[in-house]
Amino acid sequence: MPEIESAVVALSDADWYRLRRVGQIISLKTPTMDGEALLFEALERTIDGRRQWRPEAVDFVGHLIGAMRSIASHEIERKGNKVVPFTSSVELIGLSDPTDPEEALSAEQQIRMLRAHFGAGGDSLALQVLDAMELGCDGSMIREQLSLSQNALQTVVRRIRRVAHRLLPT
């Protein structure tokens, strides 16, 4: 528990902003819960031990995003709504074949590298687009949530792809 408490206290304003934005995007697919509710449900489940955080596998922000995705999927299923599968940002930016378990693991590491790159560079827009892509949002949803034109979104996606191909082994 102290590790989780320390991780919560260590969240920066940028981390909170990102978590709230991702919660908003996820909530588009979960009409029964808003973004804040998803975020705080993920925090509560992590703190009380219903969601296990493995720091060696994923950073705390990534864990909370995964928890929100899981909660949303379960909520959709529970309500009997049609589940819109969350696809991987790996597949969407063309890094590897996500159906191959070995490549999927490598792909998750690649996504972490991309997130670290854009986070260190302060490119919050690229991080938000990666998050939305991973959550299965289509271009129109991403443009609406992030107030982007079609051109602006295409520019960000091209930037993500360029960085991916420059940084990551093929």
Q: What is the rounded distance in angstroms from the CA atom of residue 8 to the CA atom of residue 3?
A: 9
How far is the CA of 44 from the CAs of 14, 67, 168, in angstroms? 20, 10, 35
Q: pLDDT band at residue 160, thresholds of 50, 70 and 90? A: confident
From the CB of residue 4, how many other CB atoms can be counted at a distance below 10 Å?
A: 18
Looking at every residue in the chain, the average pLDDT score rounds to: 79
- As a whole number, mean pLDDT of residues 86-98 equals 48
Tell me what pLDDT residue 109 has: 72
Q: pLDDT band at residue 84, thresholds of 50, 70 and 90? A: very low
Query: Residue 88 pLDDT > 60, yes or no?
Result: no
Query: Residue 105 pLDDT > 60, yes or no?
Result: no
3 state SS of 31: coil
Tell me what pLDDT residue 87 has: 45
Instruction: Evaluate if pTM is beyond 0.85.
Output: no
Could you tell me if residue 87 is left (phi over 0), alpha (psi between -120 and 50 degrees) or otherwise beta?
beta
Tell me what pLDDT residue 119 has: 83
Tell me what pLDDT residue 86 has: 42
Could you tell me if residue 86 is left (phi over 0), alpha (psi between -120 and 50 degrees) or otherwise beta?
beta
Tell me what pLDDT residue 164 has: 79
From the CB of residue 71, how many other CB atoms can be counted at a distance below 10 Å?
A: 21
